[in-house]
Amino acid sequence: MTLLRAVQPNTPPPPELMAAIMKLGEDATNAGVLLDTAGLAPSAVGAQVSVAAGSLTVIDGPFAEAKEVISYALYETRTKEEAVEWATRFMKLHLDLWPGWEGETEVRKVFGPEDFAPRS
């Protein structure tokens, strides 16, 4: 899974960027690795539920994080390196097509049952 955090410029995404993102999504779908994508609302409309020191706390957003998690993509790849390659391609589109945009993509593994199997 990749999570995208960004500080949005005051301009909307350029149409060329959106077209390139759609093409990358088609490429990933045709390669059989893209399972799901979606945008995420800002933390201002969210909540944080935490457990610490034996207590459960619920806090409404927004949160102090300067960069919001704005979207995610779920890929099924054979290796971490392959997932990083897809994330790099996505970020390169932003670098090339949206001047002033800054962000980061975090690549994470989604655990499956095989990750919790008893060891022999």
Residue 118 resides in a domain: no
What CATH number is associated with residue 42?
3.30.70.1060
Considering the domain boundaries, does residue 120 fall inside one? no
Contact 57, 49 (CB under 8 A): yes
Provide mean pLDDT across the span 77-94.
96
Mean pLDDT computed over 44-70: 88
Number of domains forming the structure of the chain = 1
Nearest to 82 by CA among 29, 33, 37: 33
Angle at 36 (CA atoms; ends 14, 31), nearest 5 degrees: 85
Is 5 inside any structural domain? Answer: no
119: pLDDT strictly greater than 80: no
Section 1-6 average pLDDT:
85
Determine the pLDDT at residue 66. Answer: 65
19-43 average pLDDT score: 94
The verdict on residue 88 lying in a domain is yes
Distance set, CA 11 to CA 29, 41, 73, 100 (Å):
29, 18, 23, 9
Rounded mean pLDDT, 39-49: 90
Report, as an integer, the average pLDDT of 43-59: 92
Give a yes or no: residue 6 inside a domain.
Answer: no
| Mean pLDDT for the stretch of residues 82-108 | 94
Q: Which domain holds residue 55?
A: 14-109
Among 12-26, 62-76, 99-113, the least confident range:
62-76
Q: Does pLDDT of 5 surpass 90?
A: no
Residue 32 CA to residue 38 CA, distance in Å, equals: 18
Task: Report yes or no on 58 lying in a domain.
Answer: yes
